[in-house]
Structure 1
């Protein structure tokens, strides 16, 4: 059967007229403004008030637990331990350690992070473990370098060979034998580093929670003080570069240790 094009077109036109709602034809058209939206407070020249708190001074709400702890402490007195919260006391320690204007070498957040042990606030405010690892490598390198460039002593003389043989010698290897008499760990001993930390007042600003508040040495205070000094050097290296960090390690730490 042949199709009638005029009949099909007319029927299609009628169907479209019946299905077209009257409301669509009268729908309002949304107009877009070409002017730039004004920010909050632009008319009154006032800025929104915010209760700003530095990150080091509080624990984020979403990191807090349900309000109770599953850790059972035999002696409740061991749960009580206070740490310094005064920025002026912290800046004074940095000035004693790094010299005048030493508190300006690091931003506020990094200054607090470098002296924060992972035992403080369950590590929820950040801790200095990775900074300490980096700073330890810098101090070990500078301690090795100080041994190699030091003048040869009586103990550095090569013992004569029992069979009369002459060992190989080269100017580039002349200082390598010094490491057989002194090692870097002999310079950066834990006891020496802890003594230096006490002299600059690091225990007064250290943020940590000892396991035994009545026995700080038994809680590992010597190791924590060493780690904190390493972390400060590591933070300076990341903030100012290797040249400044190595200079601080040589002049402010190793020289005080007798290197």
Structure 2
């Protein structure tokens, strides 16, 4: 009777070893066959391959991805069908000419082709399906604001009226390090690079002819937000230059191509 527990333990161990050491039953067989077999061979049809090759030949900015297209109709009720007609520029040469006028000689070579189109694409264009410049504009707006603040700080202050004579003969403390303290209390970055000034700069560079957007009222572009769209595109260009070439190049572009023109 004392040997019964030992015999039962030995028999259980042997059964377990035979179960897990069976050469004919693998782990994959115990778990079951997978539902889907992975293969390195291409499973596309000939039509799918032709469509993919056509998309690879076309640049990304020139077409809407097939999977982002809708069912072919819109559920929105258009009150005035004439407002749905709006043509955007699709000529790369015209876009390069705008970058050259804005950034100077060889300005059209500062950014890759895809980024050049993305920087001037508003989110209203093609329902945002080809990408838009909102995040680039946010980054560029911070760069312009910082550089404009520096510009205000280093600009000599205008002549002030002489302080009145103190009755006790005291003189206020003067130091060169304190000369710029009060500049930002009288002049803000928005006073230098206001929306109207940046919009005029964009118009001079020909940005309205190439910016991609869909105005709400084509007969009234100002009421549709043209000023904001132009500002957004300018900021996006600065943000793209900073990401492509670094902060130093972007700051130099802001000083020479934006601040110098709006202050003239």
> Is TM-score (shorter-chain normalized) higher than 0.5?
yes
Q: Aligned residue pairs: how many?
A: 211
How far apart, in 2, do the equivalents of 1:62 and 1:141 lie?
A: 40
What secondary structure is seen at the aligned counterpart in 1 of 2:261?
Answer: coil
Which residue of structure 1 aligns with residue 27 of structure 2?
Answer: none
Identify if the C-alpha distance between structure 1 residues 171 and 64 changes in structure 2 by more than 3 Å, giving closer, same or farther.
same
Q: Does 1:244 align with 2:249?
A: yes
Identify if the C-alpha distance between structure 1 residues 108 and 168 changes in structure 2 by more than 3 Å, giving closer, same or farther.
same
Structure 2: state its 5+ residue gaps.
Answer: 1-51
Q: Does 1:179 align with 2:155?
A: no
Q: Which structure 2 residues correspond to residues 1-259 of structure 1 after superposition, within 5 A?
A: 50-51=53-54, 52-155=57-160, 170-258=175-263
How far apart, in 2, do the equivalents of 1:253 and 1:243 lie?
A: 15
* 1:161 Cα deviation after fit: 11
The structure with the larger Rg is 1
Structure 1 length as normaliser, TM-score?
0.76
How far apart, in 1, do the equivalents of 2:148 and 2:258 lie?
A: 10
How far apart, in 2, do the equivalents of 1:151 and 1:251 lie?
A: 18
Structure 1: state its 5+ residue gaps.
Answer: 1-48
Deviations 1:110-162 (CA, angstroms, capped at 9, x unpaired): 0000000000000000000010011111111111111110112125x696699
How far apart, in 2, do the equivalents of 1:146 and 1:241 lie?
A: 19
Root mean square deviation of aligned Cα: 2.2
Structure 2 length as normaliser, TM-score?
0.75
* 1:167 Cα deviation after fit: 6.4
Q: Which has the higher helix share?
A: 2
